[in-house]
Chain A
């Protein structure tokens, strides 16, 4: 089954404790992206990757890191989480970076930072 898989789905952590949210897709997609979803603000792009070893900032990259060492994986790293990073996170992918709009989303990872 074609899918984007995120882990963990739910996480409660404390300020400053490094964490990684993994994202993996099995569709051989070139383009991958991370979004966060907050009430009243909608989905906002954090980082994106057009292909292996090619990443760039989205609209809200502060406090996050990413890497793309393999085509299928695109982990999101929070080096020192803070309470304002409490949010619902989505990983998404598309076949290419020019496949405008056809994003496939994971099920989401709900993160709470205390």
Chain B
């Protein structure tokens, strides 16, 4: 079983929709979770960072961690065409700054 699993999509939604992106993880050690956004032909950039469980909100973005079900979610409200990108969930899985990434979900927001 992979340490972090993510539905690859692609996911296509109309502008203004609420988007839900999800990952699951298997190892409960190191309760640091992140969402990275990757535009085409670019490197990933950190979008959201959460520690342990609960919600964290930043503008139109909400990151949620459910420790009991080992579920990581990212919600995007009022989605915009500029949100079209690949979203990568990640989890700290070792000492130092070792992260394990999901395979990414490709999102397209259409006008």
Contact = CB atoms under 8 A, between A and B. Distances in A.
B99 interface: yes
A50 B94 CA distance: 13
A40 B106 CA distance: 12
Contacts of B101: 42-44
Interface residues of A, number: 28
Interface residues of B, number: 25
Interface string B28-60: 001011100000011111100100000000000
A50 B97 CA distance: 9
B97 A101 contact: yes
Nearest to B46: A102
A41 B101 CA distance: 9
Given A50-B96, A100-B92, A43 B43 contact: no
5 contacts: A96-B97, A99-B97, A100-B32, A101-B46, A103-B99
